Amino acid sequence: MLIKICGLSTLETISAAAEAGASHVGLVHFAKSPRHVSLEQAAMLRAGVPEGVKAVLLLVNASAEETARAVDSVRPDVIQFHGRETPEWVGKVRDATGLEVWKALGVRDAGTLERSKQYAGHVDRLLFDAPPPSTDAALPGGNGIGFDWSLLKGHSHSADWGLAGGLNPDNVAEAIRATGAPLVDASSGLESAPGIKDEKLIADFCAAALYAQTA
């Protein structure tokens, strides 16, 4: 079971995630997010990621120059794009950097899943998330809301994938059973306040996800 804890901003919570069994830790570089970290902060945090855990750098609609600067500064294992990036764009980044590239998509209906097939061959993983609550929402993800998991039932996936959107310690086991997700990703559901991760919630989330895999 792969587990990503996203939106981390301290070495203590990175350590807590790793100790709890997370396979990935996410660093958000997007100024509008309460989980935003500067490139300097992200580089410092990335240096503290334990061996065996992958560091994911999340970018939203970043330009080519911004993307290159972020990658050079942080040296992540994975780049996660969470904006309006096209298959061609993310594929170019993947080819240019040699890094693992993920693309998050807000699932509104079955049509989103069908359109996601455009990314096959351009990304290493698709992350199915809840769409923003409104067209003018400040954040493309991390809003603490979910989507209809039944949309994923029977879907023929064109790439490795993961599940996000409103996941927390209380519902992650159900989400895994309902969707068969090989990776789960949580952020706001593990916070005591926006941008403030709770180490107990991180531990409880990882325990529930790992138990669901074996149950």
10-residue averages of pLDDT along the chain (215 residues):
97 98 98 96 98 97 97 98 96 97 94 94 96 58 74 90 96 95 96 97 98 80
| Residue 208, both tokens | 């529930």
Residue 192's identity, in one-letter code, is S
Contact partners, residue 21, CB within 8 Å, separation at least 6: 3, 206, 207, 209, 210
Q: Supply the pLDDT for residue 32.
A: 93
Residue 158, domain extent: 2-214
Contact partners, residue 188, CB within 8 Å, separation at least 6: 7, 142, 143, 144, 166, 194
Q: What is the CATH number of the domain that holds 23?
A: 3.20.20.70
What's the pTM value of the predicted model, to 2 decimals? 0.93
Distance CA 62, CA 83 (A): 8
Pairing of strands 196-197, 191-193: antiparallel
Q: Supply the pLDDT for residue 140.
A: 58
Q: Supply the pLDDT for residue 213.
A: 76
Mapping DSSP to helix (H, G, I), strand (E, B) and coil, where does residue 147 land?
coil
Tokens 């959107």 correspond to 165
**Structural domains in the chain (count):** 1
What ranges in 53-194 are assigned the alpha helix state H?
Answer: 64-74, 87-97, 110-115, 172-179
Alpha-carbon dihedral sign for residues 210, 212, 214, 215: positive
Closest CA to 6 of 171, 127, 105, 125: 127
Pairing of strands 54-59, 125-129: unpaired
